[in-house]
Amino acid sequence: MQEFAQRVAETEFPPIAEAFGWLAGRKSDKELLNMCQAVPSYPPAPALQQEIARLALEPGTGGYTDIFGIPELREGFARHLSADYAAPVAARQVAITTGCNQAFAAAIMVLAQAGDNVVMPAPFYFNHQMWLRMMGVAIKPVNAFAAGGAPSVEESEAAIDGRTKAIMLCSPNNPSGAIYPPQVLEEFYELAKRRGIALIIDETYKDFRPGHAPAHGILQRDGWDETLIQLFSFSKIYALAGYRLGALVAGPKLLHEAAKVLDCMTICPPQITQRAVVFALTQLDQWKEEKRQLMAGRLAALREAFSDPRLKFRLVSSGAYFAYVQHPFTGEASKDVAKRLAQQHDVLCLPGSMFGPGQENFLRFAFANVDKEKMALLVERLVNSQ
């Protein structure tokens, strides 16, 4: 019998695919509240769809680009970051990737090898966990809620050892929705710099944080790119999830090594998507703001709905696209709870066990796919499940 690589065979099956599998044979005639996958419920802006159609007819857009993407996009995204963080970011510090997951994978492959470890607050994003496991890189988990809605810098420092290569943060957080204060992120930067390791921050959901103040001031510091690695995605804010485009922002030394990884993975990001995002960065600011407000409205409606006094599910944390919820079924596996909600109550969400150790009492609800008018229906179904 054929044998498979042990680290891959022992890695969890993709959680989203597993969760959709729970719906096999579903006979309910009720609307399914799909809060499983973090995806916007709306299509790309009409102007962006038209631009993509135009680009598809242009000669050459089916060809390769530079490994790090076309210059126009690297320069455009550097300008965007410079404005968003009130700090100078150069195109040479930007690599465009085939989605944010690829940016993470490339960064980790450059930084770590089997036997090394990464400090990560739990709960953590399952794809980060899966990739690290397949590489044989251990996770040193710390409590994501130790300091209110953020991990403790002191606890994280205590977890660092001689094989630690990075601290991995995600803000706004997947799965909890927590948005880490700028001061906390800057303290983690100082810790990583002092200990000679990398600080990786996944900022996929940065455009859905409240207000327009910079998420942190790290990019304003001299030599930030010797410590900080930022990961971004164009999937959520422009509703381009299936078009696969992200970014890796770091120093030239790391990007030089990352080029080897990116070249072997996909050679280059999709050219049509790159050129479409060049258009989006300059033409869709008003559309972006409308969608940010739309998500803020859904978040407010969800928080209000969870104030129902009948509800025994407790909202632990929420923001951006996500709500992290403590279920009332103490001692029951979170996967069993999630399956029952899907199969008997028409609510599809993910169990906490998919997000790291110590999470059996929790569920993740990705509310970006559900209109605000249906948050009360969600709570009604949860009440009926109690």
Question: Three-state secondary structure along the chain?
Answer: CCCCCHHHHCCCCCHHHHHHHCCCCCCCCCCCEECCCCCCCCCCCHHHHHHHHHHHCCCCCCCCCCCCCCHHHHHHHHHHHHHHCCCCCCHHHEEEECCHHHHHHHHHHHHCCCCCEEEEEECCCHHHHHHHHHHCCEEEEEECCCECCECCHHHHHHHCCCCEEEEEEECCCCCCCCCCCHHHHHHHHHHHHHHCCEEEEECCCHHHCCCCCCCCCHHHCCCHHHCEEEEEECCCCCCCHHHCCEEEECCHHHHHHHHHHHHHHCCCCCHHHHHHHHHHHHHCHHHHHHHHHHHHHHHHHHHHHCCCCCCCCEEEEEECCEEEEECCCCCCCHHHHHHHHHHHHCEECEEHHHHCCCCCCEEEEEHHHCCHHHHHHHHHHHHHHC
pLDDT-derived band at 32, boundaries 50, 70, 90: very high
Q: 272 is in which domain, residue-wise?
A: 63-283
Same domain, residue pair 295 and 216: no
Statement to judge: residues 14 and 105 lie in one domain: no
In a domain, 350, yes or no: yes
Q: What is the pLDDT of residue 147?
A: 86
Taking only the tens place, the pLDDT of each residue in 283-308 is: 999 999 999 999 999 999 999 999 99
Q: Is the pLDDT of residue 97 over 90?
A: yes
Are residue 238 and residue 344 in the same domain, yes or no?
no
- The per-residue pLDDT for range 208-232, each reduced to its tens digit, is 999 889 999 999 999 999 999 999 9
Percent of the chain scoring above 90 in pLDDT: 95
Whether residue 185 is predicted with pLDDT greater than 90 in this model: the reply is yes
pTM, rounded to two decimals: 0.96
Q: What is the pLDDT of residue 1?
A: 66
Average pLDDT, integer, range 191-205: 98
Whether residue 142 is predicted with pLDDT greater than 80 in this model: the reply is yes
How does residue 26 score in pLDDT terms, banded at 50, 70 and 90? confident
Give the pLDDT confidence of 323-358 residue by residue, as tens digits: 999 999 999 999 999 999 999 999 999 999 999 999
Number of structural domains (the chain) is 2
336 and 188 within one domain: no
Which pLDDT belongs to residue 293? Answer: 96
pLDDT band at 20 (very low <50, low <70, confident <90, very high): very high
Shared domain check, 220 and 308: no
Quick check: is 48 in a domain?
A: no
Q: Same domain for 353 and 243?
A: no
Instruction: Give pLDDT, residue 27.
Output: 85
